[in-house]
Amino acid sequence: MIVLGIETSCDETSVAIVDKNNVLINIVASQILHREYGGVVPEFASREHIRLIEVIARDAINGAIKDINRVDGIAATYGPGLMGALLVGLSFAKGIACTLNKSFIAVNHIEAHIMVNFLSCYDLKYPFMCLLVSGGHTMLIYVEEFRKYKLIGRSVDDAVGEAFDKGSRILGLGYPGGPIIDKLAASGIKDFYPFPRAKLKSSEFDFSFSGIKTSLLYLVKKKGMNWVKTNINHICASYQEAIIEMLLTNTIKAIEFTGVDKLVLAGGVAANSRLREMFNTELKNRGVKLYYPPLEYCTDNAAMIAYTGYEMLKRGYTSPLNISPFPNLKLGI
Ligand code: KG4
Ligand code: ZN
């Protein structure tokens, strides 16, 4: 069963083709034009998707299957994401499905970030805990079985990816901030500055990242940019350490609470090298098996959309062609 997947929810224009769980091709064009603005400009993102989507789709088809008629289904992200950006990929996918009379599958972007782990972790079985950490979401999700989710914890303010991106901006570094901070932190002193670790009264599984960001802002204002430049590696290392410690503390509580023995990391921040290192060590000590996707499947990509589409199509899920983009789409919890 061959499924073509399209992802345009934010600033990656991506098309992939899978044959069952084999990825035949996965082309990802990251829109670098947003870098000079320090964040994604929604209108520019939509226009770039329009400019790129057809070229990339043609390249994917020519590179993998030659003939578009070989596909059984067309899958596209319908949310969550930026309205205009979603609209481009979704409309394009519907157009192909309608013209070729193929099945159409609208895919939830959050669900795809979780599902992509099955592409590389062959021994992964339900149930498991998932820590989803991206630019838009920070969630602890108990995944009972296919499409059966229970939300255990979430961020009450900024997503963890935002904490990296906004922190990077405060420090005068580039966008996206996660990979830059990750790299600079590698040679820094982790306890150089005691950034606060937020603990919420509302729920022991919820996260908050607005406090640490404000703490960084005050520190930079107080000490000045010259001090920041001299100590940039140490500041990044201690900022990153505090963020990851908050993620780890609540994740361990959630694992103990549910008694689950598998943890899956998903989303762009799962690419963070210190996060992987800390989680590896801590979970091994607790006898919990850790799974995470390879780097290219952490950040946004269409392979995760095509594969989730395949898993849905094989179970008979299809979507009507009048389905609209859903910027605030939640996981079916
Ligand atoms: O999953 P993703 O590509 O898009 C969303 O669905 O949001 O995640 C993007 C986020 C950005 O905030 C980016 O800074 C972060 O993932 N990120 C990282 C790393 N690589 C990407 N954060 C920390 N360390 C990294 N190595
Ligand atoms: Zn994403």
- Assess whether pLDDT exceeds 90 at residue 37: no
Q: For residue 137, give the ligand 1 atom closest to its CA.
A: 7
Q: Which atom of ligand 1 is nearest the CA belonging to 267?
A: 1
Mean pLDDT of 93-106: 98
What mean pLDDT, rounded, does the chain reach?
A: 96
Q: What number is the average pLDDT over the span 316-332?
A: 95
Q: Which two tokens stand for residue 11?
A: 């600033």
> Once rounded to an integer, what is the mean pLDDT over residues 286-303?
96
CB 143 within 8 A of CB 114: yes
Sign of CA dihedral 181, 184, 188, 192: negative
* pLDDT band (50, 70, 90) for residue 333: low
Of 187, 297, 195, nearest to 238 by C-alpha is 195
Whether the per-residue pLDDT at 39 is higher than 90: the answer is no
Pocket test for ligand 1, best of 8, 279, 299 (most atoms within 8 A of CB): 299
Closest CA to 41 of 16, 6, 19, 11: 11
pLDDT at residue 199 in the model:
87
Please give the Cα distance from 147 to 110 (Å, whole number). 11
pLDDT above 90: percentage of residues in the chain: 93
Nearest CA to ligand 1 atom 22: 178
Report the nearest atom of ligand 1 relative to the CA of 300. 3
Predicted confidence band of residue 201 (pLDDT cuts 50, 70, 90): confident
Q: What is the mean pLDDT of residues 113-120?
A: 96
pLDDT given at position 230: 98
Write down the pLDDT at residue 319: 98
Write down the pTM of the prediction.
0.94
Tokens 């996707």 belong to residue: 293
The β-bridge relationship of strands 138-145 and 128-133 is: antiparallel
How far apart, in whole angstroms, are the C-alpha atoms of residue 165 and residue 186?
17
CB 110 within 8 A of CB 133: no
User: 50 and 6 in contact (C-beta within 8 Å)?
Assistant: no
Pocket of ligand 1 (CB under 6 A): 10, 134-136, 161, 164-165, 176-179, 182, 267-269, 271-272, 299-300
At 151-161, the pLDDT tens digits run 999 999 999 99
Helix, strand, coil shares, percent, the chain, to 5:
50, 20, 30
For 242-266, write each residue's pLDDT tens digit: 999 999 999 999 999 999 999 999 9
Q: Is 106 exposed, middle or buried (0-12, 13-18, 19+ CB in 10 A)?
A: buried
Say how far apart CA 127 and CA 129 lie, in whole Å: 7
What are 159-196's pLDDT values in tens digits?
999 999 999 999 999 989 999 999 999 999 999 999 99
